[in-house]
Structure 1
Amino acid sequence: MERGTRRRYGARAAALVAAVVSVSLAAGCTGGPAPGDGHGDGRGRQRAESPGTSDVPPASPAAPVLAVKIDNVPAARPQTGLDAADVVYVEPVEGGLSRLMAVYATRLPERVGPVRSARESDLELLRQFHRPTLAFSGAQSRLLPLIDAAPLRAETPGRTPGAYVRDGGRPVPHNLYVHPGRLLPSAPGPSALTTGFRRGEAPTGGRDEASRTVRYPAASFTFTWSAAAGRWLVGMDGRPAVTAEGRRLAPATVVVQYVRMRESGFHDSLGSPTPYVESVGSGRAEVLRDGRAHDVTWRRGSAAQGTAFTAADGTPVNVADGQVWVVFARMP
């Protein structure tokens, strides 16, 4: 083959490779929106879904936890699968409302939901886990590149449609559910809970606490101690919070964590700013367990670390065996 011919052939081959790479990258970007999700980009555009980064390895039994973003407006209750979570985070969202993030490590329920969209501060919160799987229904288009770049495995209905199902007996958007067993082969086990929580004997001191309420502008959470159950019974917006089967939600430990909150660079379709919860840093907190409240200090040195809770003398404060709820409250 002559030199000129080889050059022309090489140029055409390079152009073909570039075109294939371009198409592949486009195919790896966002899918379609989750119908009815209320988290827009403020300009009336539909929300897209992120399939996550292509270099995240498949889930393995020993590695990632599963985190699911769960709807928490009255129309979404009662939720399904919330009682099986190891940790439940309560987060503020637009309009003074709340949303939940449930983290599963020791067991995977049959179904979880209703599933809703992700927020920017979720990415910082999830950095404490090793490449977790995040199940969510969608996100703002401008947030999607941040999700794609985060060290997690994003699973949406657009990426794994067989893992999600709509409940025809509920209205959209409060009727999307995920089957965890179709995202993870099995529960990764308690070693995957790299939250920094220490389980063990109750700390000394503290004060008797029969009930504790945390309020957001348009939502409230009340935790009432039940000596008979040995758990904190959850109330939401003044009503008992129950599972889909009618059982009371009842964590063993509740942490009220006071954090800095600021407006993120995002807002919903009505123009309401999205709060950003700063879960890295330090501040005060209350640990509720065994019918008592303990004033503690929380510290998280970096996003890759869990959160340590210590008493005034610097000793670690243990949580009880069982489910833990962490309620983020605005730092005074």
Structure 2
Amino acid sequence: MAAVGLAACTDSGSEQEPAPTQQTQGVSPFTGLRAAPGPVLAVKIDNVPPARPHTGLGAADIVYVEQVEGGQTRMLAVLSSRLPAELGPVRSARESDLELLAQFGRPALAYSGAQSKLRPLITAAPLYALPPGEAPGAYFRGSDRPAPHNLYVRPGRLLAEAPRAEKASDIGFRFGSAPEGGRNAAEETVRYPAARFSFNWSPGVKRWLVSMDGTAASTTDGGRSSAATVVIQHVTVRTSQFQDRSGSVSPYTESVGSGTALVLRDGKAYDARWSRNGKESGTEFTTPSGDRLNFARGPVWVLLTGR
């Protein structure tokens, strides 16, 4: 494998709990774990079967899953607490990414490119857009799989091209004790038109182990993919004004608004509500009674899926 990540980028559940809330100095607002404040880097990740296993994904604070053409999915990995040596495979951006990323202030975005009509919107968005043409020294092609599933980014080099990228700040997540209630949940599955994600609770590592299309998901540099909290967020997925190269219409995932969600933590599933008032606002998750719903400390996976 041409892309080799840092040994520190594991998916284990061994992190020590920090001070009580993510507002404490030195605690990540994305994971609730101790972390030095760092700039936000978002990377668009390929997720069709030929793109797996991924590299560096275990270093992400947040992993968003979004629907793309043909009912397949891509991921948007958000990093700030730590960086892998390499991350990928990297693929092209979509219009939905711009709305989703606006809550992070002005982050850096790594992506392989975009449809020509979308490029002006990316240029106008509040982010540092850094495809290979803008930061050629930060990308490389691996030799273990065919293009287009072999493009990787070196996050450290990419962030050097965006020295003013905004540091991690509050996007609405809260971390702490589990709410009352919930139901025992050993496994939950989320289905997209042409993709499937399953999350199995592991008491041993205190994480939700990720499977994709019925196969255990792993990374080349960190073992089994996992999350401390999984959010299944029911959103509106509609058609957009853009198409891919084959003429398929790109879906648009609306991340502003409100709706229902299912939050998985500590081997239980909790019914929830989500609300995001505007593009610059974070997303709040609450219990049915209206109290803020705490996440478990650690990486968060958010699956944006149609109602």
TM-score w.r.t. the length of structure 1 is: 0.79
Which amino acid letter does the alignment assign opposite residue 72 of structure 1? N
2:75 is equivalent to residue 75 of structure 1: no
> What does the per-residue CA deviation read over 1:141-171, in whole Å, with 9 as the maximum and x for residues that have no partner?
0000000000000001101100001112210
Deviation at 1:221, TM superposition (A): 0.1
Q: Is the 8 A contact 2:105 2:166 kept in 1?
A: no
2:90 is equivalent to residue 115 of structure 1: yes
Determine helix, strand or coil for the equivalent of 2:159: coil
**Selected match of 1:86 from 38, 61, 70:** 61
Deviation at 1:269, TM superposition (A): 2.0
2:256 is equivalent to residue 287 of structure 1: no
More helix by share: 1
Deviation at 1:267, TM superposition (A): 1.3
Q: Which structure exhibits the higher relative contact order, with contacts defined as CA atoms closer than 8 Å and separated by 6 or more residues? A: 2
Determine helix, strand or coil for the equivalent of 2:224: coil
> What does the per-residue CA deviation read over 1:228-284, in whole Å, with 9 as the maximum and x for residues that have no partner?
110000000000000113611010000000001110001112221111000000000
Cα distance in 2 for residues equivalent to 1:183 and 1:130: 18
TM-score w.r.t. the length of structure 2 is: 0.85
> What does the per-residue CA deviation read over 1:196-218, in whole Å, with 9 as the maximum and x for residues that have no partner?
11111111110000100001111
* Pairs within 5 Å for 1:206-285: 206-245=182-221, 247-285=223-261
Compared with structure 1, are the counterparts of its residues 190 and 271 closer, same or farther at alpha carbon in structure 2 (3 Å cutoff)?
A: closer
2:100 is equivalent to residue 163 of structure 1: no
**Selected match of 2:152 from 177, 194, 198:** 177
> What does the per-residue CA deviation read over 1:286-313, in whole Å, with 9 as the maximum and x for residues that have no partner?
0000000000100000010110000111
Which amino acid letter does the alignment assign opposite residue 145 of structure 1? P
Determine helix, strand or coil for the equivalent of 1:275: strand
Compared with structure 1, are the counterparts of its residues 293 and 129 closer, same or farther at alpha carbon in structure 2 (3 Å cutoff)?
A: same
Compared with structure 1, are the counterparts of its residues 63 and 108 closer, same or farther at alpha carbon in structure 2 (3 Å cutoff)?
A: closer
Match of 2:81 in 1: 106
- RMSD of aligned alpha carbons: 1.9
Q: Is the 8 A contact 1:64 1:129 kept in 2?
A: no
Q: Is the 8 A contact 1:108 1:187 kept in 2?
A: no
Aligned residue pairs, count:
271
Cα distance in 1 for residues equivalent to 2:39 and 2:166: 11
2:104 is equivalent to residue 126 of structure 1: no
Q: Is the 8 A contact 1:62 1:188 kept in 2?
A: no
Compared with structure 1, are the counterparts of its residues 62 and 247 closer, same or farther at alpha carbon in structure 2 (3 Å cutoff)?
A: closer
Q: Is the 8 A contact 1:106 1:187 kept in 2?
A: no
**Selected match of 1:298 from 235, 257, 274:** 274
Cα distance in 2 for residues equivalent to 1:152 and 1:92: 22
Cα distance in 1 for residues equivalent to 2:164 and 2:231: 24
Determine helix, strand or coil for the equivalent of 1:83: helix
Where structure 1 has 5 or more consecutive residues not aligned to the other structure, the ranges are: 1-60
Match of 2:24 in 1: none
Which amino acid letter does the alignment assign opposite residue 249 of structure 1? S
2:122 is equivalent to residue 147 of structure 1: yes
Determine helix, strand or coil for the equivalent of 1:220: strand
Cα distance in 2 for residues equivalent to 1:99 and 1:284: 22
Q: Is the 8 A contact 1:199 1:318 kept in 2?
A: yes
Deviation at 1:188, TM superposition (A): 10
Compared with structure 1, are the counterparts of its residues 140 and 106 closer, same or farther at alpha carbon in structure 2 (3 Å cutoff)?
A: same
> Which structure would you say has the larger Rg?
1
Match of 1:30 in 2: none
